[in-house]
Amino acid sequence: MTIGLDDVVAAETSLSHVDGEAGRLIIAGHDLEELAGHVDFEDVTAMLWDGLVANAATGPQALLGEARQRAYARLAPLAPQLAGLTPVEGMRLLLASLPDAEEDHAALAVGAAGVAAAMAVRGAKGLAPVAPDPSAGHAADILRMMRDAPVSEGEAKALDTYLVTVIDHGLNASTFTARVVASTQAGLLSAVVAGLCALKGPLHGGAPGPVLDMLDAIGSIGNAEAWLDDAMARGERLMGFGHRIYRVRDPRADVLKTAVGKLKGQDNRIAFAEAVEATALTVLERRKPGRRLDINVEFYTAILLDALGVPREGFTPLFAAGRTAGWAAHAIEQAGTSRIIRPQSRYVGAWPAQAA
């Protein structure tokens, strides 16, 4: 029996495949590197949804644009309730307000996730929501709604690359959670909300904010070794490193590093990040010899989203905005199997005779 389900195959999927030894991610039959930065988020969503969502391939830009508008009409009245919540908590509140039984529920979920991410970041600062522009690209519109200011083509491209990079990733903790909920036939929006709840933790999608905290605390390259070594001596985990499946470099890291490199004025930032990364790998190998810990997606996520001016509390909501397309696809795929996911536990408590 495996505690943590490390080697358990809990589902069959046509959506994505993670090869942890080769450092390869396949999404809807394509290597990540073929898609991220080359195919728009809407089109990758349509590829992922092909055969699962009706009309997914017909005008995915219009489909998601309309969905953002539909979502905004439902979510905007809830803006006053975002005060006092972190952005990811605000996003959870907003998505939880949506009905399960709704036409085009997959598109609504993705449209709503984009609107909710932007709204929740603004709401946490007491700022009013900004309405979507259905004619804009999904990534460009999310960033514009979040900052209420124009977005350059390069910035839109960088965020689009990010959303594609995180769109799906095998049976990670949040996708598994979404599939468990979908397996009870609870509905697609419920599965998406459950996915978000699982994503939120710092061992999963909550890591990129702490990555930036770590980089800030290190401050300069000269401090990196001592800072990282001290953190590990205290038993802390280095955020942005390690992965349950990858035993080599997470392929998403380089895709995101390339995307940051295309943004203006990021050369010094990338040089700093590369130096910290190299030092962290040395420290990890020294402190955890043979564990094969390498960089994961969250390290360059933090650098990319920071370069786009996204506040660090907004990193996880944006991750969720991209991953919702994957959660929705997995929820539909799972619901189609009509077999509930129900593993077993090993009882280690007292037996009645002993407890008496």
**203 is a site residue for ligand ACO (CB under 6 A):** yes
C-beta closer to ligand ACO: residue 122 or 323: 323
**27 is a site residue for ligand ACO (CB under 6 A):** no
Please list every residue from 231 through 290 that binds ligand ACO, using CB under 6 A.
232, 237-244, 288
C-beta closer to ligand ACO: residue 72 or 300: 300
C-beta closer to ligand ACO: residue 71 or 253: 253
Reference 164, options 16, 336, 286, 288; nearest CA is 16
**Residue recorded with tokens 């898609």:** 35
**18 is a site residue for ligand ACO (CB under 6 A):** no
Please list every residue from 128 through 167 that binds ligand ACO, using CB under 6 A.
none
**291 is a site residue for ligand ACO (CB under 6 A):** yes
Task: Identify the residue among 53, 112, 130, 297 touching ligand ACO (CB under 6 A).
Answer: 297
**Residue recorded with tokens 């998403």:** 252
Reference 238, options 200, 187, 191, 291; nearest CA is 291
C-beta closer to ligand ACO: residue 151 or 316: 316
Please list every residue from 72 through 91 that binds ligand ACO, using CB under 6 A.
none
CA distance 122 to 117: 9
Q: Segment near ligand ACO (CB under 6 A), from 14-22, 64-72, 291-299, 344-352?
A: 291-299
298: annotated active-site residue: yes
C-beta closer to ligand ACO: residue 74 or 244: 244
Answer whether 270's CB lies under 8 Å from 321's CB. no
**24 is a site residue for ligand ACO (CB under 6 A):** no
53, 224, 348 from 194: Cα distances, Å? 20, 37, 28
Catalytic residue among 105, 138, 169, 243: 243
Residue 110 structure tokens: 């993705």
Q: Give the nearest distance from C-beta 62 to ligand ACO in angstroms.
A: 30
**204 is a site residue for ligand ACO (CB under 6 A):** yes
Binding footprint of ligand ACO, residue count (CB under 6 A) = 19
C-beta closer to ligand ACO: residue 221 or 232: 232
Q: Give the nearest distance from C-beta 341 to ligand ACO in angstroms.
A: 20
**194 is a site residue for ligand ACO (CB under 6 A):** no
**Residue recorded with tokens 């959870």:** 92
- Residue number closest to ligand ACO, CB atom: 242
Angle between the 188-199 and 87-96 helix axes, to the nearest 10 degrees? 170
Residues contributing to the site for ligand ACO (CB under 6 A): 203-205, 207, 232, 237-244, 288, 291, 293, 296-298
Which residues are annotated as catalytic?
A: 243, 298
